[in-house]
Amino acid sequence: MHLLVHLLAAAGGSTIVAPPDPSGMPGSAQILSLVSGLRWFCLVASVATVGAGALAWAAASHTNNPYQSSRGKLAVVVGALGALAVGAAPALISWFFNLGSQVSG
């Protein structure tokens, strides 16, 4: 690959640069809308998981059931991490894309 870049540069050619452009694909607005809806659904599921986990944790603690209490704690943590993942996903993907764009042949 490195040789190909040097051959293109020597021949007066340039390397390929293709920045992402959502307007270049038909249906991209619908895809972005679908992704936004999916993110909303995941956030609602995360809130429901945190709520159900907190309820189970409280009920199990009140009845002195350590197994169910730990399962409730786990559900709260998983729901919170799910919301964190949904919120951080665009920034992480953008960061990885920018990191990958810095790679040169």
DSSP string, 33-63: HHHHHHHHHHHHHHHHHHHHHHHHHHHHHHT
What would the mean pLDDT of 71-83 be, rounded to a whole number?
97
Residue 59 backbone class (left: φ over 0; alpha: ψ -120 to 50; beta: rest): alpha
* Measured distance CA(102)–CA(95) in Å, rounded: 11
Inform me whether the pLDDT recorded for 53 exceeds 90: yes
Inform me whether the pLDDT recorded for 60 exceeds 90: yes
Q: Among residues 73, 72, 75, which one has the least CA distance to residue 83? A: 75
Looking at residue 61, what is its pLDDT? 94
What would the mean pLDDT of 56-85 be, rounded to a whole number?
96
pLDDT grade, residue 83 (50/70/90)?
A: very high
Looking at residue 26, what is its pLDDT? 87
Half-sphere exposure of 7 (CA within 13 A, CB side): 4
Looking at residue 21, what is its pLDDT? 77
